Structures are given as C-alpha cells and as structure tokens.
C-alpha cells in the first residue's frame, strides 16, 4: 500500500484530509510513479526505477478517466510529470508551483527527511499547503 508510513499523515494534513478521506479510492488515486520503493540513501530517496514507470504508469493513468488535478510528489515524479517545464532543483520546481496549476501541483515528499527543507522554505507552509486544501475542496 503506498503511503503506509508516517508520511501519510503529513500528506493528509497538507491536503486537509482525514486518513479515511485520503484513502477513499472514489476520490483520491494514489499512484506511485515506479510501483516500487528503491529505498533511501544519505540525502533522501534513491533514484527511481524508470523502467517500471515506462511499462505501467501511462497504462494505469489512462484507466483513471478524467483526472482533474495531480499532486506531483518528489523530484523523480516532477521529472516524469512536468518534463521540460520543470526547474533545475526541487526548491525551484516547488517555488514555481503557480506555473503548473491548475492541472498539477509540485510538492516535496512529505517524509521526515523533508523537515530540513521545510524549515529552510517556510513559504511552502504559508502559500502552497493552504492552496492544496482549497484546491481539493473545489474539486
């Protein structure tokens, strides 16, 4: 099950949703890019296995129907989903979040590894997190 760790609570908070709402498959699709967790290294998640995304991701996304908004979490998902429009760093991508709305919202990973990033980038908590909850309520 994706997000079966403490980061699920933080992500639920960011989205202003209870865990029941967060895991309600009639409202939210939790789609991992590479369908596996390659593990973590010294500075965060290890590079993803892009061959899995190439095999299955687009096929799965085509089965979802009309997706009205995607919260794109972590630099590897940013690279895949935002393509040439993404910036050169996680901070640059997330700071430019308005450029990707309303279809996509880039975000850092909500794991504890992100705590240092969040402390250095308080604008995320002040600007982006409120937007996430507002966007979901509109949908």
Express each pLDDT in 55-76 by its tens digit: 777 788 888 888 889 899 888 7
End-to-end CA distance of the chain, in Å?
Answer: 24
- Superfamily the domain 7-138 falls into: Uracil-DNA glycosylase-like domain (3.40.470.10)
Residues 6+ apart with CB under 8 A from 115: none
Phi, then psi, of 111 in degrees rounded to 5: -75, 170
Question: Residue 33: what pLDDT?
Answer: 67
pTM: 0.81
Residue pair 11/74 in contact by the 8 Å Cβ criterion:
no
For the segment 103-125, the average pLDDT, to the nearest whole number, is: 93
């Amino acid at each position: 099950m994706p997000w079966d760790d403490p980061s699920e609570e933080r992500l639920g908070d960011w989205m202003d949703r209870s865990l029941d709402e967060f895991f309600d498959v009639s409202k939210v699709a939790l789609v991992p890019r590479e369908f596996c967790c390659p593990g973590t290294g010294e500075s965060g998640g290890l590079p993803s296995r892009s061959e899995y995304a190439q095999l299955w991701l687009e096929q799965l996304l085509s089965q979802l129907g009309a997706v009205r908004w995607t919260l794109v979490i972590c630099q590897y998902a940013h690279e895949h989903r935002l393509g040439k429009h993404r910036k050169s760093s996680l901070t640059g991508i997330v700071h430019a979040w308005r450029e990707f709305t309303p279809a996509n919202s880039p975000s850092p990973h909500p794991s504890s590894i992100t705590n240092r990033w969040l402390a250095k980038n308080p604008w995320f908590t002040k600007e982006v997190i409120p937007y996430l909850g507002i966007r979901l309520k509109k949908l």
